């Protein structure tokens, strides 16, 4: 089972924590508030002091929201798997998470970021497989094999392999990611963020008051 050493919790433990109406409601309300803060920024913009304060909060909230968005998507997954009848709650969480994440990712060229991430992962994976081969004396004694292995794990070799992976992934994924980037920019726009945020707050309040209206039933006891 996946372990998170820093907290010493398993993934199942973390999922269990969110299987609670109260926790779920506040995830919706607070995350929704993080999105809806753009509405307050627009309202308070003409007021010098408040406008400046909310400008700072929006900038900070954008980057904090990236991690909150990942959390929202995860919680949405928990609801989807444990409470299949609560489609609205799961959908709002995932939609809100996607919106929060895209507010950051939309500022970067996704194809470039994705290709770079795959290249780094590919190089690291290759190094993990190839480096232990240097401990095999029989293999390293084979002509040219030792040279190839040493080249692949050298700085120059890793850069070349990484560059090749980067170019291939960038070309292949460019069109698809441009479409995703366009969708992301739409969701990252201020009007959409505000609407999704207010929707999430509303759903969170309903979860607190009458969870059964949204298909939430008693959480399984484990």
179-222 pLDDT, tens digit per residue, is 766 776 676 666 777 788 888 888 888 888 888 887 777 777 65
Q: Is residue 73 part of a domain?
A: yes
Name which of 184, 88, 62, 165 is nearest 123 in CA terms: 165
What range defines the domain where residue 42 resides? 9-214
Q: Is residue 2 part of a domain?
A: no
Q: Is residue 170 part of a domain?
A: yes
Assess whether pLDDT exceeds 70 at residue 3. Answer: no
Q: Is residue 4 part of a domain?
A: no
pLDDT digits (tens, 9 = 90+) for 35-74: 777 666 666 566 666 656 666 766 676 678 778 888 888 8
Q: Which of 10-14, 95-99, 123-127 has the lowest mean pLDDT?
A: 10-14
Helix (H, G, I), strand (E, B) or coil at 217: coil
Could you tell me the pTM of the whole model?
Answer: 0.61
Q: Is residue 141 part of a domain?
A: yes
Assess whether pLDDT exceeds 50 at residue 6. Answer: no
Q: Is residue 222 part of a domain?
A: no
- With tokens 């990252």, the residue in question is 188
Task: Give the torsion sign (CA, 58, 64, 66, 68).
Answer: negative
Q: Which of 32-41, 74-83, 139-148 has the lowest mean pLDDT?
A: 32-41
Mean pLDDT value across residues 162-178: 79
> Binning pLDDT at 50, 70 and 90, where does residue 4 land?
very low
Q: Which two tokens stand for residue 71?
A: 């959390």
Q: Is residue 1 part of a domain?
A: no
Tally of structural domains, the chain: 1
Q: Is residue 52 part of a domain?
A: yes
């Amino acid at each position: 089972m996946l372990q998170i050493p820093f907290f010493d919790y398993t993934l199942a433990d973390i999922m269990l924590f969110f299987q609670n109406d109260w926790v779920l409601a506040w995830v919706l309300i607070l995350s929704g508030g993080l999105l809806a803060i753009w509405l307050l920024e627009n309202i308070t913009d003409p007021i010098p002091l408040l406008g400046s304060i909310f400008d700072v909060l929006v900038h900070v909230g954008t980057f904090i929201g990236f991690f909150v968005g990942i959390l929202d998507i995860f919680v949405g997954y928990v609801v989807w798997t444990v409470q299949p009848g609560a489609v609205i709650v799961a959908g709002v969480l995932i939609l809100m998470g996607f919106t929060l994440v895209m507010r950051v990712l939309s500022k970067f060229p996704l194809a470039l970021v994705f290709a770079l991430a795959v290249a780094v992962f590919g190089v690291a994976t290759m190094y993990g497989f190839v480096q232990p081969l240097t401990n095999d004396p029989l293999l390293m004694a084979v002509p040219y094999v030792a040279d190839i292995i040493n080249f692949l794990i050298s700085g120059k070799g890793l850069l070349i392999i990484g560059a090749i992976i980067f170019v291939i992934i960038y070309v292949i994924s460019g069109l698809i990611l441009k479409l995703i980037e366009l969708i992301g920019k739409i969701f990252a726009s201020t009007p959409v963020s505000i609407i999704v945020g207010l929707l999430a707050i509303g759903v969170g309040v309903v979860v607190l008051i009458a969870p059964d209206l949204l298909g939430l039933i008693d959480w399984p006891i484990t």
